[in-house]
Chain A
Amino acid sequence: MNKPARGSLLSIEHLEEKEILGLLRLARRMNPLKARPLLRNKRIALLFYEASTRTRSSFEVAAKSMGAITVLVLSSGSSIEKGESLLDTGYTLRAVGADAIVIRHPSAGAPLMMAQHLDIPVINAGDGMHEHPSQALLDAFTILKHKKSFKGLQVAIIGDIYHSRVARSACHLLSKVGVKVSLCGPPELVPEFATTLAPGLRITRHIEEALRGADVIMLLRVQQERLAGKKIHLQDYMARYQMTMARLKLAKRDAIVMHPGPIIRGLELTSEVVDGPQSVIVDEVRNGVPTRMAILARALGKAS
């Protein structure tokens, strides 16, 4: 085992505030349409053990726009199907000449383990229920675009926090930059010990309370495929926690509505909210590209 290579991005929890702000500054300077070839001749392996649309395509576009060669390896159609271990897949990609690995994996901690056994940067593109650091960074980028500063902001995160790697990364990031965060949902999805994750978190079971005075509303999908024994009555959930135009009025007038996707219209939020003027959901996806350009530039040491 070794320390992860410099430039790895494995979690937000273990990043310092100044590294987060540095990445956000770098992301602001990135323009996918007029990118400098910072990654020319670099080989980046995109190793995806789970389905992904947004994350995979934006990492790929980010890498290619800076001149990198990308190799996409999916768990189906590769030796992973034949039973190759995670570490052996990592060693193989390294031997092929990868300069960095972007990995999405259903098991929490898988990117860290890979980083502890390789000498190249590993970037976590989502690991199980653990973290999704590039999503938290692009969300922070989006918040800054609309709110100018983190100072004094109130954020409400509503929905299935238990199963959400996006929520964990967001909580760490927002807490580090001093934002107050309300977590909102039923106990099955927002356990009491969720507040121990980071300083400045509180829990409320009432969406009205979470929304009052909120500058930013982050909604999360109920991950029905991960519920495993937890029983959630969707009709009840929608009655208590669905984001509607009426509820949106409780938040600040200039509050923005965010969602990491995929969205389920009519479940955690109504179509009117998705398509409404306060929604920045599509903008988040767009911001994924410059944010991931910054992450890759930092990883491969050309972040000047």
Chain B
Amino acid sequence: MLIKGGHVIDPAAQIDALMDVLLRDGLVAEIALPNKIRGGADEKFDARGLIVAPGFIDLHVHMREPGQSYKETIATGTAAAAVGGFTSVCTMPNTTPVVDSAELVAWLRHPERGAVVNVFPIAAATLNSRGAVLTDFGALHRAGAVAVTDDGKPILEDEIMRAALRLGAQLNLPVVQHAEDTRLTENASMNEGPTSFRLGLRGMSTAAEANIVDRDVTLAQQIRESRLHVAHLSTSDALKAVRRGKRAKARVTCEVTPHHFTLLDEDVGEYNTNFKMNPPLRSATDREAILVALADGTVDAIATDHAPHATHEKEVEFERAAFGITGLETALALAITKLHREHKIPLTRIVELFSAGPARVFDLRGRGSLARGSVADVTVFDPKKKWTFEASKSRSLSHNTPFDGWQFTGKVVATIVGGKTVYRAE
């Protein structure tokens, strides 16, 4: 396939210009100035007026298989990913059962799952994510796991976290932490502050996140070659700890979700459960700090934390409602609408946060760039296209989104995985 006349943004290769891209045999065969590529292509893609970017990578999704296929399946979840421009998704292991064995990692990657984009499993860090006994990182890694985490059940014990980082260091495997001191957040359902007080809801303090990030960064600094990735970072204080680690040259990375750079805790309004997620929406101060960190390079990736839930799990009392929202189909639109147009973050930086950044975090070789020889994963989008998101038309099995009916600027036009078009906007 020849993608002609598009504006290529490839931060890893420092390209930000009109270029043609030739895809052949699942790889980028050639990338050159317009009309310089000789030889035929079976298929031509007219990308005039569009941005051509390395395929987007989402470091944090919940595809709910095995065991919770009423919320989402790998087939439906990856279809939603394709609509959102993601060519690769990294799946969280908190399924039923927990993905803590090589067999389950292989099962997730099996063609029978019907994935339309690349699936990179993240495996559990401890058996059944109980926080007691480490899983066999080596076997999981060989089976295709790109990182380990206990996600929603953060590793609180210092000794276990230290052991996980040590073992990860030996295998060059990142340990992902959902940073939450769950001892401080019992029965809490949103950010602690004026809104939680007004609604009579128990609040999660920012310290419950920042304390764990602070501890983890300290451990990462102490353990040579260890790799720590902070999932869905949401607080100003946690960013301070990440900056400290990065300054000290520790291998510390972090991701931020679109909802945390877009919404505030007060948007919960009158107990709207589509605004309930963990970490919770935070204060304006925290959001401001996140926006600065997205712009200045502290944040490595935008990740959605796509967390589908069935209606009956959301249409209940706020305190009983499941945490999490869907996010795959709105991520780029939010980034362009909020980060680029409102906060003037350049498109090159946004593309980096969706491609080169996440590829580096989990060492996804051959991805995150359109340099010759890279995997032919490409995302083509129109940064000026105005559209309205309708949750009812989502490809996800679940529709728990706070963005239903939102008007956006910026839309995915095509998603190409391994040289094959898996999504094309009408």
Contact = CB atoms under 8 A, between A and B. Distances in A.
Interface of A: 13, 85-87, 105, 107-110, 112-113, 127-131, 162, 165, 168, 191, 193-194, 196-197, 228-229
B312 A85 contact: yes
B194 interface: yes
Residue of A107, A129, A131, A165 most packed against chain B (CB within 10 A): A107
A165 B200 contact: yes
Contacts of A168: 198, 200
A162 B199 CA distance: 11
A105 B197 CA distance: 18
Lowest 9 CB-CB distances: which A-B pairs, in order?
A130-B200, A109-B271, A129-B200, A107-B317, A196-B194, A108-B200, A193-B194, A107-B319, A109-B318
A13 to B, nearest CB: 7
A130 B200 CA distance: 4
Given A191-B197, A228-B187, A229-B184, A105 B317 contact: yes
A196 B198 contact: yes
B197 A194 contact: yes
B321 to A, nearest CB: 10
Contacts of B201: 108, 128-130
A128 B319 contact: yes
Interface in B297-330: 312, 315-320
B318 A108 contact: yes
B183 interface: yes
Contact of A130 (B194, B199, B312, B320): B199
Nearest to B319: A107
A228 B202 contact: yes
Contacts of A193: 193-194, 197
Given A109-B319, A229-B186, 4 more contacts: A85-B316, A105-B317, A191-B197, A197-B194
A86 B316 contact: yes
Contacts of B202: 129, 228
A196 B197 CA distance: 9
A52 B101 CA distance: 50
A211 B103 CA distance: 68
Contacts of A165: 200
Contact of B319 (A13, A85, A108, A162): A108
Contact of B200 (A85, A86, A127): A127
Interface in B266-284: 270-271
Contacts of B197: 162, 191, 193-194, 196-197
A197 B317 contact: no
14 contacts: A107-B317, A107-B319, A108-B318, A108-B319, A109-B317, A112-B270, A113-B271, A127-B200, A130-B200, A162-B197, A191-B197, A193-B193, A193-B194, A229-B183
Nearest to A108: B200
Q: Is the interface of B mostly helix, strand, loop or mixed?
A: loop
Contacts of A112: 270-271
A165 B201 CA distance: 11
A107 B186 contact: no
A193 B318 CA distance: 21
B198 A128 contact: no
A289 B325 CA distance: 44
Contacts of A109: 199, 270-271, 317-319
Nearest to B268: A109
B198 A197 contact: yes
Contacts of B199: 108-109, 130
A61 B62 CA distance: 52
Residue of B183, B197, B312, B318 most packed against chain A (CB within 10 A): B197
A113 B202 CA distance: 18
A191 B186 CA distance: 18
Contacts of B193: 193
A280 B318 CA distance: 36
Contacts of A196: 194, 197-198
Contacts of B194: 193, 196-197
Interface string B187-223: 1000001100111111000000000000000000000
Residue of A87, A109, A131, A168 most packed against chain B (CB within 10 A): A109
Nearest to A114: B317
A229 B203 CA distance: 12
Interface string B154-186: 000000000000000000000000000001101
Nearest to B194: A196
A120 B197 CA distance: 28
Contacts of B312: 85
Nearest to A194: B197
A120 to B, nearest CB: 19
B399 to A, nearest CB: 14
A197 B271 CA distance: 16
Nearest to B196: A193
B280 to A, nearest CB: 15
A105 B318 CA distance: 12
A109 B315 CA distance: 12
Contacts of A229: 183-184, 186
Nearest to B312: A85
Contacts of A110: 317
Contacts of A107: 317-320
Residue of B183, B194, B317, B320 most packed against chain A (CB within 10 A): B317
B188 to A, nearest CB: 9
Given A85-B316, A109-B270, A196-B194, A131 B184 contact: no
